[in-house]
Chain A
Amino acid sequence: MRDFDLVMPRTLSEALAAMSASDISVQPIAGGTDMVVDVRSRRAKPDVLVALQHIPELQGVVRENGMIRLGARTTVTELLQNPLIADHADIARQAAQVFANPMVRNLATVGGNVGSASPAGDIITPLLALDAEVELLSENGGRKLSLENFLVGPRKTVRRLDEIIVALRFVRPAPHSGHAFYKLGLRQADAISIINVAVLLERDGPLVGDVRIALGAVSPTPIRAHQAESILRGKTFTDSEAREAARIASDEAAPIDDLRAGAEYRRRMVRVYAERMLQQAWSRAR
């Protein structure tokens, strides 16, 4: 594996100072489930890795007013086990359940999955459905932006080289929302998504309230299917509307052929699973 220096700051300000070194490649490392693999495969070529192990400001899942804030170092196992997630963000818990495998879940972090920005990042899709914001921080200050705007391409984000992701935040969904997540993979576990779909919707009697449909592994970044959402929002939920929304969602996807699956198959699976997840979320909503 490539030589690199490993810095292990004990405080947030030490970490931000380490990140601000300019003329060399400095990258953050949390769980290492992507970074170590990428350094070994030479996809990543850091000169310095800044380990975020011991920074308290990056830990914790808290409820703040009407929002839930996930510290960037929240592991996928924590998403699976934390009662706040089960109560308010079940869609993230559902994604955590089928994320990689138990050992990787113990190491992998929310900030890492977002920062790596894989098009198939399984935690990104539910966070898009939750309409999450990314909080970034550097020595020069902090900023917040929507996760949707943070992701700009395969493994490309607008994170500046001196910034770290501190947290992901989202407005708590309405208590009786329906949450449905599906991951299609070549195995039932320990797999990279062929597609994944996250649906979060509110129900108002026979009408759909707010609805979010997020799709993963079928575009350069995980995306929201905004056009599909717009035909459902505020309308009566019917089987044919769900089917039509799923068809529109599959048109909004831009899948590619790769070693796991072909583009046409992916597009068809978006249609199938978007419809199923809409039905599932609808039946779970009150």
Chain B
Amino acid sequence: MNMKTVTMHINGRTHQMAFAPNVTLLNALRDLGYTDVKSGCEKGDCGACTVIVNGRALNSCLLLAWLAEDAMILTVAGMGTPDNPHPLQRAFVDFGAAQCGYCIPGMIVSAKALLDEISEPTDEEIREALSGNLCRCTGYIRVFEAVRAAAQEISKE
């Protein structure tokens, strides 16, 4: 099977790596060290692997790496640092929105995609935007509260 070098721009850094055709963006990101992107169902049902590619939130388990050639990709780790977290990251911590934590990277990325499009979302819009991110621990309440709080924080800036 032939390998091809793919160029991707991830969290502001440009990477080039050779992949086989059957490697998904999820595998590629994790091979490149972006283990903040989680593997859940690998079927597009759970949203754990959500990343933003060229401005659109999508399941990285469904996109073949070759098809992400020259793409601008954002993962949760690229949204902020421990010293300078993104308001969403800070809100998720402040509101105790994480229990086991596994769904959280996907939740935060989906929330970012929402706030990029709608700066003051209604509760219904928040639920809709996160409807592809499944959580078995929290019951979603604090996740929604965190997103609401972060939206207010961001719109004040």
* A interface residues with partner B (beta carbon < 8 Å): 1-6, 8, 29, 31-33, 36-37, 39-40, 49, 51, 53, 77, 100-104, 106-107, 188-190
Contacts and interface: CB of A to CB of B under 8 A. Distances in A.
Interface stretch (B74-82, B87-95, B125-133, B147-155): B125-133
A106 B129 CA distance: 12
Interface string B21-43: 11010000000000000000011
Contacts of A29: 64
Contacts, number: 90
A37 B44 contact: yes
A103 B26 CA distance: 14
A101 B20 contact: no
Find the residue from B1, B110, B132 having the highest chain A CB count within 10 A. Answer: B132
Interface string B114-129: 0000000000000011
| Interface class of chain B by DSSP | loop
B47 interface: yes
B61 interface: yes
Contact of A103 (B22, B44, B128): B44
A107 B64 CA distance: 12
B21 A4 contact: yes
A191 B47 CA distance: 13
A100 B132 contact: yes
Contacts of A188: 131
B137 interface: no
Given A4-B21, A4-B22, A33-B44, A190 B58 contact: no
